[in-house]
Every structure is written in structure tokens, then in C-alpha cells.
Structure 1
Amino acid sequence: MYIEGSIFGRKDPAITGGANVFHHEDTLTVATTSHKNISTTCSTRDTNEPVWWVLGELYGFDATVLDGQRGYARRPLATDPAQYCARLYNQYGIEFVRGLNGNFFLLGYDPSQQQVFAVTDRLATVPIYYTTPTQSSDPVVFSSNIQRIPLFPSVETSYDSAYLHEYFAYKRTFGVKTPLSGIEELPPGSITRFDLADQTTTVNQYWTPEFAPIDKPFGWFVDEFVHRFTTVINEWIDSDQEYGVLTSGGSDSRLILAALNGNATAFHMADWMNREARTAERVASISGAEFTVLYRGADYQAGSLERNRSIATFNGWFTQPYTSGFEDEITTTVDALLSGLYGDTLFKRFPIPSPDLSIGPLGTVTLPLEQRVETIDEYIDWLLDSAFVSDIGEMPTDLRSVLETNIYRDGDQIIHHGVAYRSLDDLVYYSACYPLSNDDDLIFHKGIQKMLPYRSPFLDNRLIDLSLSMPIRYRLRRNIISQAVERLNPALAAIPHSNTGAPLTRSFPIEYLTRNLTALYRTRLMDESPPEPYMTNGSWIDDAELLRHHPFFRQAIEKYGHLADSLPGLDQEILETYYQEHCNGQTHLTELYTIMTVLSMPLTAYLASGDFSREELRSELNSE
């Protein structure tokens, strides 16, 4: 599934590869695959009517931000998303996107104005990559898959050592930056306008997160959250459709099942019927949902390297499109999928800096307090502390210098890798999801979108707005999602959380104490050995152990290791050393998985002169 094209450039039939193609003279080419998540008003007849393409989903429209009167209305389920955009554009002009709710990328072409509009949603949940030409005569090439951009003959690129270093350190690059020179991501919440007549490009930021907490009791926020969440779910549900929910033993997916009244299939990914799986099964049973285990195992995890190499976008590891091997099982069972992704980012303590307290040989505990970040330098220090690794191989760049170059104050704004924030608080609290590619699980989100219609309720504008209004103390020392589950289904809330061991009904002090005592007991005293060393009692396989017990990575080095010689600061010998040291007891999981994610990408073989031609790259990517 992709959308791609060129602006200000000549027709390029070499990019089509069997896709649906639209041309306008010698200034615009757009190609898309046929997919449920792509819609268009494109017609083969000659017309001066605007043409729209929608990648993703549109939920509704809030006219309040435009006319101050009419409120929010959902998009009728029977209305095609591209036609919906066309009507709103005819009524409001391009400013209509300010009121649009959904997870989408829009491309619009207005022949009468000789303008092309590229629009991202608030958080850029559907990332689009594009070339940044150095000369006005160069075309702008764009694609939803960054690896496809070099398919265009006008594009020359190579690995940028600074941003490649950043990917190795964080499993993603920040903001609009990518590890490929001359290629960036479209900014979140933006309208990028291309004028075909004078060949100019302008970017207008129509939305940025603005943290503005309101002084209300926690109960008020719970009431508001439950109302908004159930409204979102009820608007989405079509009685003629079957729905699936990615279900864990935690609270976020449990809330979705509660809001659906169990009218869903609860999919749970597991390597064995461990503690997490047993909790998920109990959650499904209590909610009334049908429970389906998607068994992974070592071979499934190992196979993800070949399965996901063509969709990798320098966000996360090759393992992180977790559902990619279960496409048949999921799509033959349900019509659409929901998950609780980003509930922790928007409503819990995940992105908020908090101090750790050492308890000696027993380890550390994270205190439910905010560690205030008062300056940009302190923010950079915090980012450095949160890096998975800081040094890798013999990279010619220094991670601190990379961050200092890209994070700075510009007038009354703070720029973080090309993305503007209004205040330091906005940066600290919301840079984990603005843009969404700042989170290394975006590849999971994107992988599901490729399979079938998919939504995370927490990414609805109305819930994002509520998050922006909620005081930080409630995210640190309360749990609004657990409270919402208890409101909707007390029996579901009574089931202990698989990680904390505490029912969702417990007050925060009791839950906090139980969580830390449970973690101590399980790590120090409990003897609950999984069937294999790489299996766990949690949601995920132990990849560090898998590397030591499964031959797939040795095979991957034999197939792709020579490409390390083409990357800055790396070579095959460094990769081999990391692997041997890891097998001998050291931990180099991050280094090995991030390097191999890059090496296995077809793009890397193409950029390493002599390995891949452009035709071979196209063949690899068209098979995704």
C-alpha cells in the first residue's frame, strides 16, 4: 500500500509498477496502489474539478474552528473519504483541514489554482517522505515508503551519518529528519502548498500541541474521558462490520473491549500461554469477546527480518510490525482492527521525565514525580540519558553534537529537528507523539494500516485535546484509563493487571506499591521458568536470548553483513564482533537489531554501488 509521485517534474512511467496513475501535463504525477485505506476522486476524463487522494481514514469534521458556530459531525460511514474532502474544500477552501479529524494524509490538486496541497493530520500518523531539492528546477518527489523515493530517476541520495547515528541510538530519527540526505518527512499538522505556475513551495503549520491544563478535579476528567471515548467508539462502529481488538493483559485494550460490550474478536499475540496470555484470555471471557491466540514462537520472530524489510522506514526494528505475519488470520476474521496504542503516551506517565530511586541490590524504582526540565540543555541531557546506546561502531559523529545542532530556540518557538513547539512544556510532554514518528512503534501502527482499516481511539482529536488539558499530576499519580474501565465494566477492572498484579480498581498508592513489590518478587523470588530461555511471561519475546539460541541472525550476517562496509562508521568486522560478544554474554541487542534493520532494507543494497540496480530495487519493493 503506497501513494507516491512527483511535483514540478515530467511524467515518469517507470514508477508506476502496475499502480493507478494520474498525470497532469508535465508537472504532476501521482501513483497509488488499490487498497481499502486509499480513496480518490481521480477521474480519467479531462476536468477542471479538484482531485483528492486520501491515505488513511477520516472520522469527522469540526466546523467550530472555522465559523465558530456549527460543532462536530462525524463523516457518514457511507461517504467516500475523498468525496468528503472535495465537498469540504468546495465549502471552506484548503482551511477545511483545520477542522478535520482522523488519521490521514491528503493530497489535493486544484487545476483552477494550479496548486497541489499535501496535508498531514495533527500528529502525522501517516508519514510521507519527500525530497528537498537544492535547485528550483528539480522536481519534488514524495512517497509513503521512504525506500521507494530513489525509484525516481531524478533522486540521488546517500546515508547521512548524523541521522543514521541518531537512528542507531534511538531506533528512530526525530522530527522531519531521516538518515537519507535530501529526504525529509512532511511536518505534522501542516499544509504544504506547491504552486505549479511559479514552482514555489510553502509550508503552513495549522496545528501544534499547546499544553494548557485546566483546574478541575480528577473525577471531572474521568467523566469527560469516558464520554469522549465511548462517543468515539460508538461513531466508528458499523453493525455490518466485524471488529478485532489487539488485546493484552493491561488496561488500554481492556477499555476498548468494555466500550464495545465484547462485540469483537480479541486477538492476543503470544509465544506460549504465559501469564500475559492467561490474563488476556480472562479479559476476553469476562467482556464477552471471542478469544484468538496468534502464536508467534522463535521462527515467527526470526522470519520478521525477511517479512518486513521492504516496509522499513528507519522507525523501530524489523521485528516491530508485530502483526505482519498474521495478515491472513486477521483479515479473514474481521473487517477492521482497533488497538490501545498511544494511551500511555497521551494519558499516562510514559513520556514525562521522572527521577529513579536506587534501592541498592534490589534495583531502582521510578518515583511518581515530575523531574522538571527547565532548559533546552536539560532536555538534551534527558534525551542522551534515554538513548538505547550512544556510541556504535566508529561513527564519525557525536550524538550530543547532533542533538545540539537540531534542538534550539528560534524566537518564541523551540525547534526540534525541524518541528516547531510553542513552549518547553509542549516539547517535553508531547514530542513523544508530535510527530508520531518520534515514537519507535509507528512502524507497528503503519504495519497494521497496510493490512486493513485500523484505528487507535486515543489518536482521535477529541481525546488529544483532553490530554492537552489534563494536569501532569493526574498522569503521574492517577490512572484515568483504569478508572474508565471500572466505570464501563467493573468486572473487567477487577482482573489484576498482568504486569502490576493489581486490579484496576486499586487506588494509586496501593497500585504503585503493588506494582513495585510484584516486580521485585517476580525478578528476585518467583520461580516461573518459561519453556524456552527466550520466552517470557510478558507481551514480548526476549530478543537478547533469541539471538543466542536461534541461527537466524548468523544467517542474516552471511546474507547482508557485507553491506555494513558501505555504512559510515561500520563494517562487517564490527558487526561480527558485536554478535560474538553478545553470544558470549554481553548485551548488544540494540546495536545488532538496528544495524540489521538497515542492512536488510533493499534500499541499502541499492545505495551500496553494484549490489542492486533501480529495477531490482523496484522489484523488491513492489512485492511488499
Structure 2
Amino acid sequence: MVGLFGAFGPRRVGLDEFPSMQWGGERTDSFADERVAVTSGFHRLLADEQPVRTVTGDTLVWIIGDVYGFERNGSYQARPDSIDSPTYCANLYESYGIDFVEGVNGQFAGIVYDREKGTVSLLTDRLGSYPLFHTRVGDTLVCSTDIQTLAEYPGVDPKFDRDYLAEYLALKRSFGVTTPLSGVEKLPPASVTTVDLDGNTTESRRYWRPEFTPRDEPFENFVEEFVSRFRRIIDEWVREDRTYGLLLSGGSDSRLVMAAMDQPVIGFHMNDWRNREARIADRIAAAAGNELLFLPRTDDYRRRSLERNPPLSNFDGWYKQGYPTGFAEELTGTVDVLLSGLYADTLFKGHQIPSPKLSLGSFGNVTLPVEDRIRTIDEFIDGLAVETPSYFDGDVDVESVLRENISVTADGEIDHHGVRYRSMRELVLCGEYYPLSNDTELIYTNSLRQLRPYRTPFLDNRLIDLHLSMPIRYQLRRNLMHRAIERFDSRLAAVPHSESGVRIDRSFPVEYAGKHLNALRWKLFEREEPPRPWCTHGPWPDDEEFVRQSEFVRDALADDRDLVDSLSFLDWDGVNRCYEDHLGGEENAVELYTLLTLLEMPVTKRIGGDADAGGTPLSAPSGPTTERPRLQLPTADGGDGE
């Protein structure tokens, strides 16, 4: 598996007892001395070997992920192609010490072992895009980028925290630094956590957090700045000796990536049939002169997804959202690097900004392009519209758990499950990507990382900084992506957007009106009948209808009946009720898919005592959690380091 696993401090476990990091064709390296042991799995295109030793001194560096460059005193330098990420960071450590991480741009997690000082520093990037899970086994700190393997380490006795487990089942994610496993947390985003191996003490500080400071400038200024930064990012990334594959939809975000590429890129489009979305993706690729490979989602694909994907979950989404693993052979056999347009809508289209909806009765709803501003914690929690799943028999109210874990601090900041935001403004605007583990679909990103080196240009620090300076009105009533596509390739801008049916090069008012008029036209006069009831004209199936029409979910739940009965917080009658209510017209696909994901996770099978999972019978808590001490990583200044 692509990732890091480390044990720091007195150690009675040899490397041969470490959980396996092997998942695909990546390289696995291991290191151990009397106080530190680390196993790393990584793609050969991203690193030659790990750890990397500094030229002077006696320091070892591990980096999982990809470092793009380094900024200091307002000057930015891209990482040279000839230097891999671990070596680059080792060089920066020699020049600037551990503070080098403050200027690093990329998606990564790292370990720096300074043997002379007797310290280990654990690094997370700005967004915590590679989470580092940690727990204590006696005097040893154990950490991993994968929570499933962390639970396999000898001496770790995994049990579920019912409150946070209920949050996951209701909301498809575990927030902030929390996880559904008792005694296991994530290191904060944008943090340096240093372990003193001699004194067995730990200190943590945070070096960055998002601050929304909109600039009162014409929209055209943001277009110019975005195009310039995006062009530079793509130029820094792309190499002529590598083959690139792009997850291409019929929308605009991945289209922008294709438009900005100056060399051929192979498009991949996953769908249930050659619908309107697929045909638009074909037109986009053809307009750019690129090849498009259509990847059909078959019944066998769904079965393989349930088998393959739950072990990739860090309690962040459904099994089915690890979409690419079902096409692993097609993807890995065709390209060297994978690209996507993920997070463009979050950063530049106001995806996370609440907006009022206007009901049109039987014709549906229209979302108005204005902000319905959230000012209080109560309003924020109400906006999540959460209910505890009916099958959860743990005397837990998820709304109460949220209220216990989101609070205003003494200095007026917002603490959301152990991660601080300057104000409610930043929580609403940035809470879906800071930390990135708050995202309900991070399993999609994780599945891509396992297959090939993977990048989305939108999570570059330079674009995040631009996003934090862009007024809300431009996110809601303009379309930065569309204007950028026009600049890069007018041929791609002439192809309609698959959702709206309107050409990309039209103005926002024309696009907004055309989108709703076309939606009404398709609703009333669409003559092309999908091949199955759950098939749609968009990129994804109608999951609510799939659960009703297919026996797949019913049969998968039945296969896990014994496991459900072994877990005291689940109620089989409640599972049946949830499923039957769905057949009767309720929309419970989220609850059912998330439950299936949980049941197929290795850690759940271990806790439930499934011999096939390699675990031993372990009991879950017998009653509701009343006290849940948070793992304390004290900071040098006694605060949160911000």
C-alpha cells in the first residue's frame, strides 16, 4: 500500500511483525534501529528509495506523496525534475531545519528522524491530505497513513468509539483529528509533531491555517491570475517522457486540465452506459485531439468494488466511491500518471457555500446564486441535517455529538473536532478541505494514489491562496473555470456542459437560465430511455433506485449477518427496517452503503472476531460513551501553535 507506517520509542516488535504495506506494484522499503522503525510503500516514479539521508549530519527523511516546490520570503521555486521529493526535503532540512515544512508546496506526509538530536518529527501538509493516524502502545508512539493497518500492529487493541462511529455512519466521514477508533487520532493539518526519544515527550505546533481575506477587485483580475498560476502549475508538472491519464467527465473541471495540457493526454470516462455525459466527454476529447477510453461499470465491477475498496477507507466515504480500483488494469496498463479536476468546485464554484432553494413544486427546486450565510454553530449543525441511522443501537444522538465537539474557544475561534478555525466564516468556507479528511470522498483520492502517481492541480498552495482571496459573489455568480477554459482552448469551450447543456463560452446568466430550462426540457421530453432503472444521463447512477431495483445490497448485507450480530452497537432488525423503509420510498442509500463499507473493513472484522480477517474476538463497549479523553500532544507554547 502506498503509505507510511512507523513506531517510535521502546520497541518489542520486529519489522517482520509490521502490517504489510503491499497493495499493488509499488516499492516497499523498511528501516529499523533500536528506537525507530519505519516501513514505506511508494511509486517508483516519485522516489528512488527511502529513507534519504542528509549529506551532512545524521538525519533520515521519508516523504509519502508529492512535493511540488518551496516558497520562502515571497520567492517560489519548483522542485527540479532531477530530485525526488524525499531528497528535496532532506536538502531543505539541512538548509532551514524542521521549519522548512512551512514553505513546502505539495500533497504529502513525512517523517524526519534526526539521530544526533534524538528526535522524530512527523509532518503533515497544509491540508493534511495524507492523514497520519497515531496511538500509543505502552511507551511507543505508532503512526500510519492508513488506519486499517494501524489497527493490525501488535499491541493495538482496536475498539470503536460509539459517538464518532455514529458520526461516520451518518455523515460518511470522521471530522477534525477524531476517528471512530478509541485511542486513535489524526495529527492536525499543517503541523509538525516532534517526539523526543530520550525524554519520551511530544510537542506539536501548527504552521498554517486558512484565512479568508477577499480582495475587492474586478473579476477579470482573478481570471488573469488564475490562468497564469494554472499554466505555471501544469508546466512544472508535465514531462514529455511520461504518459498522462485524466479522469474526464462531461463537465468543466477535468476539461480545464485537458485544455491546459500541451501534450497528449488519455481521457478515461467511467459510466454505466454511453449516455449524454459520456457523449459530451467524447466530444471534449475529440476537440482536444486526445484519445478517450470508455470504462463501463458492470455488475461484476460493483462486486469487485465492495471486495477491494473498504480496506482503503480511513472512515471517509462509501466503498463505491473508490471508483478507479474497478478499472485498475486498464488504468495502470495505459498511463504513468493520473490526473483529475477534483476540488475545483469546492475552491472556485461555491460548492460548500449554503444557498437558498426555490421550490417549483413537481418541477423540482432551483438553487439561487446567493449566499445563505451561516453565522452560528447552531446554524452550522442544522445545515448538516443529520439523523442517527436507525440500525445504530448505541444510545447515541449524532446531533448531540456534533454539539459536544464544535465550540467557540475563549479567544473567539471555532474548534471543530480538535481543528481550529479563525471564525465561522473559515469553517463554512474551508471546512470541507481543511483538513482534507473532512471530505466525504477522500477514499476516491486514496484509490487513485494506490494505482499510479496522482495529482489534482487545484490542491496547489498557490491556487488555495487565490481561492482565499476571491469574493463570495464571484464564486456564486461567475464561473472562473469556464473563463479559464476559453483562454486555454476555445475549441473545448464550444462544447456544451453535460449538466447544463449550455456551451462553456456563454455568460453566467445565459448558463444559469439555460441549465434550468434544459433540465425542465429533459424532464418533460427526454426520449432516450436508459437501459436500466438506475442508469442516468449523468456521471453517476441513481443509487437510491439501484438499491431498490437490484438485490446486490440486500445480498451483501445478508452475507454480513453474523458480523452485525457480533457488534453490540448494531441491530439486525434495524438494518432490515432501514432496507425495507428504503424499498418503501425513503432514501436510505447513504446509510446502507456506509454500513456495508464499515462491515467490510478489516478493522471491523477484527473487532467482530472474524477469523478470516486475521483478528481475535474483541468486544465493543457495552454502553454509551460518557467520557472520551482526547490524545494530548502538548505544544511548545502551551496552545495550539497557531
Q: Deviations over 1:378-417 (max 9, x none)?
A: 222222x2x4866554341112211111111113321101
The 3 A distance-change label for structure 1 pair 388 and 224 is farther
Q: 1:448 aligns to what?
A: 448
Q: Deviations over 1:242-289 (max 9, x none)?
A: 111110000001111110146100111111110000000000000111
Equivalences for 1:309-320 in 2 at 5 Å? 309-320=310-321
Provide the C-alpha distance between the structure 2 equivalents of 1:398 and 1:224, rounded to a whole number of angstroms: 46
Q: 2:167 aligns to what?
A: 166
The answer to whether the 8 Å contact 1:12/1:29 transfers is no
Most deviating of 498-507 and 559-568: 559-568
Most deviating of 3-12 and 403-412: 3-12
Q: 1:275 aligns to what?
A: 276
Most deviating of 357-366 and 51-60: 357-366
The answer to whether the 8 Å contact 2:357/2:367 transfers is yes
Provide the C-alpha distance between the structure 2 equivalents of 1:346 and 1:578, rounded to a whole number of angstroms: 35
The 3 A distance-change label for structure 1 pair 589 and 491 is same
Q: 1:622 aligns to what?
A: none
Whether 2:479 is the aligned partner of 1:470: answer no
Provide the C-alpha distance between the structure 1 equivalents of 2:19 and 2:147, rounded to a whole number of angstroms: 16
Whether 2:109 is the aligned partner of 1:105: answer yes
Q: Offset at 1:364? A: 1.6
SS at match of 1:305: helix
Aligned AA for 1:15?
F
Aligned AA for 2:226?
F
The answer to whether the 8 Å contact 1:159/1:567 transfers is no
The 3 A distance-change label for structure 1 pair 228 and 23 is same
Provide the C-alpha distance between the structure 2 equivalents of 1:287 and 1:145, rounded to a whole number of angstroms: 38
The answer to whether the 8 Å contact 2:387/2:399 transfers is no
Whether 2:443 is the aligned partner of 1:435: answer no
Aligned AA for 1:239?
E
The count of corresponding residues between Structure 1 and Structure 2 is: 606
Structure 2, unpaired ranges of 5+: 23-27, 618-642
Provide the C-alpha distance between the structure 1 equivalents of 2:183 and 2:566, rounded to a whole number of angstroms: 18
The 3 A distance-change label for structure 1 pair 34 and 507 is closer
Q: Deviations over 1:61-90 (max 9, x none)?
A: 1122xxx5xx11110112021111111000
Q: 2:65 aligns to what?
A: 56
Provide the C-alpha distance between the structure 2 equivalents of 1:192 and 1:38, rounded to a whole number of angstroms: 24
Provide the C-alpha distance between the structure 2 equivalents of 1:44 and 1:508, rounded to a whole number of angstroms: 53
Provide the C-alpha distance between the structure 2 equivalents of 1:9 and 1:230, rounded to a whole number of angstroms: 49
Equivalences for 1:292-441 in 2 at 5 Å? 292-383=293-384, 385=385, 387=386, 392-412=391-411, 413-441=413-441
The 3 A distance-change label for structure 1 pair 204 and 549 is same
Whether 2:86 is the aligned partner of 1:82: answer yes
Q: 1:116 aligns to what?
A: 120
Structure 1, unpaired ranges of 5+: 618-624
Provide the C-alpha distance between the structure 1 equivalents of 2:583 and 2:456, rounded to a whole number of angstroms: 38
What is the Cα-based RMSD across aligned positions, in Å?
A: 2.2
The 3 A distance-change label for structure 1 pair 9 and 521 is farther
The 3 A distance-change label for structure 1 pair 291 and 155 is same
SS at match of 1:420: strand
Q: 2:558 aligns to what?
A: 558
Q: 2:508 aligns to what?
A: 508
Q: Offset at 1:615? A: 6.1
Whether 2:29 is the aligned partner of 1:20: answer yes
The 3 A distance-change label for structure 1 pair 44 and 339 is closer
Q: Offset at 1:35? A: 3.2
Q: 2:573 aligns to what?
A: 573
Percentage of identical aligned residues: 45
Q: Deviations over 1:99-144 (max 9, x none)?
A: 10111011110011111111111111112211167xxx53221111
Q: 1:189 aligns to what?
A: 190
The 3 A distance-change label for structure 1 pair 423 and 40 is farther
The 3 A distance-change label for structure 1 pair 484 and 389 is farther
Q: Deviations over 1:399-452 (max 9, x none)?
A: 221111111111332110111111211111000100111111111011101111
The 3 A distance-change label for structure 1 pair 150 and 209 is same
Q: Offset at 1:542? A: 2.1
Q: Offset at 1:46? A: 14
TM-score (norm 2): 0.90
Aligned AA for 2:191?
S
SS at match of 1:266: strand
Most deviating of 542-551 and 444-453: 542-551
Provide the C-alpha distance between the structure 1 equivalents of 2:236 and 2:322, rounded to a whole number of angstroms: 27
Whether 2:66 is the aligned partner of 1:32: answer no
Provide the C-alpha distance between the structure 2 equivalents of 1:144 and 1:359, rounded to a whole number of angstroms: 46
SS at match of 1:512: helix
The answer to whether the 8 Å contact 1:261/1:288 transfers is no
Q: Offset at 1:228? A: 0.4
Provide the C-alpha distance between the structure 2 equivalents of 1:52 and 1:567, rounded to a whole number of angstroms: 41
Q: 1:621 aligns to what?
A: none
Provide the C-alpha distance between the structure 1 equivalents of 2:358 and 2:340, rounded to a whole number of angstroms: 33
Q: 2:135 aligns to what?
A: 131
The answer to whether the 8 Å contact 2:70/2:78 transfers is yes
Provide the C-alpha distance between the structure 2 equivalents of 1:418 and 1:323, rounded to a whole number of angstroms: 32
Whether 2:292 is the aligned partner of 1:291: answer yes
SS at match of 1:319: helix
Aligned AA for 1:398?
D
Provide the C-alpha distance between the structure 2 equivalents of 1:365 and 1:439, rounded to a whole number of angstroms: 25
Q: Offset at 1:373? A: 1.4
Q: Offset at 1:154? A: 2.2
The answer to whether the 8 Å contact 2:133/2:185 transfers is yes
Q: 1:8 aligns to what?
A: 9
Aligned AA for 1:225?
F
Q: Offset at 1:8? A: 1.8
Provide the C-alpha distance between the structure 1 equivalents of 2:238 and 2:337, rounded to a whole number of angstroms: 10
Provide the C-alpha distance between the structure 1 equivalents of 2:332 and 2:387, rounded to a whole number of angstroms: 35
Most deviating of 585-594 and 212-221: 585-594
Q: 2:590 aligns to what?
A: 590
The answer to whether the 8 Å contact 2:306/2:597 transfers is yes
